[in-house]
Structure 1
Amino acid sequence: MASKSKVLVVGGTGYLGKRIVKASLAQGHPTYVLQRPEIGLDIDKLQMLMSFKELGAKLIEGSFSDHQSLVDAVKQVDVVICAMSGSSLRSQLKLVDAIKEAGNVKRFLPSEFGMNPARMGHALEPGRVPFAEKMEVRKAIEGANIPFTYVSANCFGGFFVGNLSQMGPLTPPKGKVTIYGDGNVKAIFLDEDDIAAYIIKTIDDPRTLNKTVYLRPSENILTHRELIGIWEKLTGKQLEKSTISSDDFLASMKDMDYGVQVAVGHLYHIFYEGCLTNFELEEGEEEEASKLYPEVNYTRMDEYLKRYL
């Protein structure tokens, strides 16, 4: 039986990164986590790193301001998974340089994990910016002939399910809910632990080499109305519903700060345009994770929502 690849997780203390570390360990991979001096006095991150050690992970010191330290870290593993986000996306270019120089990495999974940026060139500003940055990283990866897998995980449950995809708090609305458009556009929702499990499944799989893998478990492909209906069934209470047109929804962006404008733009593409489900996968270039790995017993959204009762 082939040995499991050694995995380095960059951004392992982040929202998804910590789940990737645990999934890697759970699936039997020798797991390493980059410990960056940039965490400074962040005691929560430090203690999380210590908890990874207790689970069996190894910590490797490295900094994005020290190229050689990244090269040295990368040389110790077979697979690199980056889970950095937000303003850190472009810093992955330094990681690409290190992987290229090291020359030993069998697979690199850059920080993507949401909508496929290759399909979002038309995205509204300023929400187009992170897609453009991810595409810049992809160009560098492919230009350096680094073996890759890109993962499109669609809607994270913590941001889209617990609040029924409402703007504002991340907990379910109490009495009223806004439906986007007619509420019948399909979206895709996933438990973050399932996302991490699927990610790790791909890393030693020749079927996913140099491809994009979509997470599209069939029972989690739901309309906005269906998602709201699940919560109403669980609580036994009907929410007061109102709808908002695409024009009014986009007009609401005008006086919002940058970060909220990005979120509104992405919600528009998901719930009005149907960008997660309005296309077929390209044969030979794209794969669907729940078909590749039917053994993953993914969380359905009624189970996910029960934690909010």
Structure 2
Amino acid sequence: MKVAIAGASAGVGRCIAESILARGSHTLIVLSRSKIPALAERGAVVTPVSYDSPESLVAALAGVHTVISAIGDHSRSASAQVALVHAAVSANVTRFIPSGWSGTEGGKDDIVELYRYKQPVLDALRQSGLKWSHPENGIFMNYLASPTKGVATLKPLKFWIDVENCKATIPGDGNIKLAYTAAEDVGAFVAKALDVPGEWPESLRIVGATVTHNELVKIAEKVRGRPFEVVYKTANEYTKDLVPNPPSIYVNMATQLSLALLDGRFSFDPNFEGVEHQFVQPADFVQKWWGSESGNV
């Protein structure tokens, strides 16, 4: 079948695109505002589109069964993704995977401001008649490798555990079980899921491992060979850290994510059967990128 992906130039979208191409089961259409030679050389049909041109989107989706979005559209209207949903309806697409790739969907008043911009897309999908699934993979394990090459196609960010500097700032008591998944595993899982017949759940939960931050610190301490400097923070402390009327949604993002974590938003189990995949585990991942043989220490 034909699968179209938007937002494949980097991030988890790139991992998904590369996995679909490696698997070779489906024709991959890459919707892009620019050329992506690395994907075109591997067999992807890179199709230039304008999200301001419904006609170009509908034409690009001709014959497509599934649209996967990894667009980082952080405008309040989520205009690019909404336009893609409408085009999918006009092109008679069957299934749409919106850009989620994080914690659970929290609604228009989501504590994480960045996640509020999912809502126009989800509202459009609920009214579209399309089959759709909101992808949720918890926290990208790759961030534990920042700033090494282990961050893969993601931006090198550090949230709660800084393995490089042997430090951690942990929400709560550190005993909350959290979903951690490598971006490469997300890509491989989605590529395999495309071969599974039947319906996908409305919340598509892909989980590499469930692990606490205390457990991750112990893993990292063992690999680095020294104790970490660890600070624990309460929800009240994080709330006090919020900057009122920030100039950018990113100013409060780490603090908001910490509050969402404390609210259980990254604590869930997988819910999609029929895909066999061996996920990388935190101990192996940290060892690979921070062990003495890695060249990073």
Which band: TM-score by shorter chain? 0.7 to 0.9
Look up the equivalent residue of 1:111 and give its one-letter code.
S
CA distance 1:175–1:95, shift in 2 (3 Å): closer
Query: 1:107-146, CA deviations, whole angstroms, 9 ceiling, x for partnerless residues?
Result: 11111111121x456632xx2x433332321221121101
Whether 2:59 is the aligned partner of 1:69: answer: no
Instruction: Say what the alpha-carbon RMSD is for the aligned residues.
Output: 2.5
Q: How many residues align?
A: 276
CA distance in 2, matches of 1:143, 1:212: 17
Do the aligned partners of 1:86 and 1:130 also contact (CA within 8 Å) in 2?
Answer: no
CA distance 1:241–1:131, shift in 2 (3 Å): closer
- Which residue pairs with 1:162 in the alignment? 145
TM normalised by structure 2 equals 0.83
- Which residue pairs with 1:42 in the alignment? none
Deviation of 1:237 after TM superposition, in Å, equals 1.4
Deviation of 1:11 after TM superposition, in Å, equals 0.9
Query: 1:174-205, CA deviations, whole angstroms, 9 ceiling, x for partnerless residues?
Result: 24332322111111111101011122233343
Deviation of 1:97 after TM superposition, in Å, equals 1.2
Do the aligned partners of 1:166 and 1:177 also contact (CA within 8 Å) in 2?
Answer: no
Whether 2:12 is the aligned partner of 1:16: answer: yes
Whether 2:16 is the aligned partner of 1:25: answer: no
Whether 2:237 is the aligned partner of 1:248: answer: yes
Do the aligned partners of 1:171 and 1:308 also contact (CA within 8 Å) in 2?
Answer: no
Deviation of 1:86 after TM superposition, in Å, equals 4.1
CA distance in 2, matches of 1:24, 1:81: 11
- Which residue pairs with 1:123 in the alignment? 110
CA distance in 1, matches of 2:96, 2:281: 29
CA distance 1:102–1:176, shift in 2 (3 Å): closer
Task: Say which of 183, 187, 192 aligns to 2:183.
Answer: 192
Task: Say which of 119, 122, 129 aligns to 1:145.
Answer: 129
Do the aligned partners of 1:183 and 1:224 also contact (CA within 8 Å) in 2?
Answer: yes
Look up the equivalent residue of 2:94 and give its one-letter code.
K
Task: Say which of 102, 107, 111 aligns to 1:114.
Answer: 102
TM normalised by structure 1 equals 0.80
- Which residue pairs with 1:35 in the alignment? 32
Query: 1:24-64, CA deviations, whole angstroms, 9 ceiling, x for partnerless residues?
Result: 1122221111131xx4xxxxxx4xx1111111111112111
Do the aligned partners of 1:157 and 1:190 also contact (CA within 8 Å) in 2?
Answer: yes
CA distance in 2, matches of 1:185, 1:307: 24
Task: Say which of 285, 290, 295 aligns to 1:308.
Answer: 290
Secondary structure of 1:259's counterpart equals coil
CA distance 1:6–1:296, shift in 2 (3 Å): same
Secondary structure of 2:252's counterpart equals helix
Unmatched segments (≥5 aa) in structure 2: 147-156, 292-297
As a proportion of its length, which structure holds more helix?
A: 1
- Which residue pairs with 1:43 in the alignment? none
Between the aligned residues of both structures, percent identity stands at 24
Whether 2:122 is the aligned partner of 1:134: answer: no
Unmatched segments (≥5 aa) in structure 1: 40-45, 282-286
